[in-house]
């Protein structure tokens, strides 16, 4: 309720992010990691990854296949790979469990372990503390940040990809399943950068275009000195305002940095952009966070 805005929520509104250490137990983290191991063990390489990269035409088919695979992943559990892990025939050059970049975007809906975590009483209670009245879950991802090859994530705002009218209705829940350190690619934020709107949007391209999405506007050049790092221990949660600028560096360490993350939208008096790549489907309307 409005009366009990705690100091930490004040911090969230001021910075655009909030670190909550030990939000989940080590056991909860391990159960997610174990569940994902099983999912990866069963994984078939998606057909679009198997296209041989020979002719220009085949490359276009490959790109189209990749984009369709991505665009239609909102209500499925799908696999996305790091660059350079497949040979030209689509075979793995390294063990498949080391090659995967992320799994998205509906673990929260279709996997019992991730569903339980997403709708856990702790998360629901936090939603209520934040004053969310009709929160819905729009997407989720398991991110691996593989040792040595886990790519950097350039500075961005989540609302670039998940646009709402009005802005300020999207919130990321980012859960460290292993310690996130300076060495293995923890998040970096520009405190207070969530107050001046967004400069870039990713929108669905017109049908028949060569790419499935395009960017409107551009990302300004940010100074490295503006960012502060947020290392966090296993089980910690970082709340991420939809417009705060954040990034992560390449993982050049020997250890992975597994994360489960999901995005919530306050659906009350909010419209979800029809131009977003991610759209609710008849099979999966955005589920309510509160159960």
| Complete domains list, the chain, with CATH | 7-272 (2.60.120.620)
Please answer whether residues 139 and 263 qualify as being in contact, where contact means their C-beta atoms are separated by less than 8 angstroms: yes
Structure tokens at 93: 């050059």
Say what the alpha-carbon torsion angle 110, 79, 147, 59 is, to the nearest 10 degrees.
-170
CA distance 275 to 271: 11
Question: What's the pLDDT score for residue 5?
Answer: 58
Query: Going residue by residue through the chain (291 aa), what tens digit of pLDDT does each one get?
Result: 444 557 788 999 999 999 999 999 999 999 999 999 999 999 988 877 776 655 677 777 777 788 889 999 999 999 999 888 888 777 889 998 999 999 999 999 999 999 999 999 999 999 999 999 999 999 999 999 999 888 999 999 999 999 999 999 999 999 999 999 999 999 999 999 999 999 999 999 887 777 789 999 998 999 999 999 999 999 999 999 999 999 999 999 999 999 999 999 999 999 999 999 999 999 999 999 998
Detail the DSSP E strand segments found in 26-99: 77-81
CA distance 77 to 107: 6
CA distance 229 to 225: 11
Question: What's the pLDDT score for residue 1?
Answer: 42
Question: What's the pLDDT score for residue 51?
Answer: 67
264 bridge partner residues: 137, 171
Question: What's the pLDDT score for residue 63?
Answer: 77
Please answer whether residues 197 and 220 qualify as being in contact, where contact means their C-beta atoms are separated by less than 8 angstroms: no
pTM for the structure as a whole: 0.94
Question: What's the pLDDT score for residue 2?
Answer: 47
């Amino acid at each position: 309720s409005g009366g009990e805005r705690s100091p930490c929520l004040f911090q969230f509104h001021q910075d655009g992010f909030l670190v909550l250490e030990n939000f989940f137990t080590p056991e909860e983290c391990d159960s997610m990691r174990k569940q994902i191991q099983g999912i990866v063990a069963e994984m078939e390489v998606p057909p679009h990854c198997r296209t041989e990269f020979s002719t220009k035409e085949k490359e276009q088919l490959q790109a189209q296949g990749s984009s369709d695979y991505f665009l239609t992943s909102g209500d499925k559990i799908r696999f996305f790979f790091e660059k350079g892990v497949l040979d030209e025939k689509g075979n793995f050059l390294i063990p498949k469990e080391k090659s995967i970049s992320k799994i998205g975007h509906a673990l929260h809906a279709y996997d019992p372990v991730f569903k339980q975590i997403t709708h856990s009483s702790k998360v629901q209670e936090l939603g209520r503390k934040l004053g969310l009245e009709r929160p819905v879950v729009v997407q989720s991802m398991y991110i691996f940040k593989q040792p040595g090859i886990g790519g950097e994530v350039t500075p961005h705002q989540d609302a670039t990809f998940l646009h709402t009218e009005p802005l300020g209705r999207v919130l990321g829940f980012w859960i460290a399943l292993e310690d996130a350190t300076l060495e293995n690619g923890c998040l970096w934020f520009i405190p207070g950068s969530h107050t001046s709107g967004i400069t870039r949007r990713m929108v669905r391209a017109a049908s028949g275009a060569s790419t499935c999405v395009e960017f409107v506007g551009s990302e300004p050049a940010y100074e490295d000195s503006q960012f502060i790092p947020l290392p966090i221990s296993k089980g910690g949660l970082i709340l991420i305002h939809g417009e705060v600028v954040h990034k992560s560096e390449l993982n050049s360490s020997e250890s992975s940095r597994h994360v489960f993350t999901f995005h919530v939208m306050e659906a009350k008096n909010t419209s979800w952009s029809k131009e977003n790549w991610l759209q609710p489907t008849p099979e999966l309307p955005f589920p309510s966070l509160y159960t």
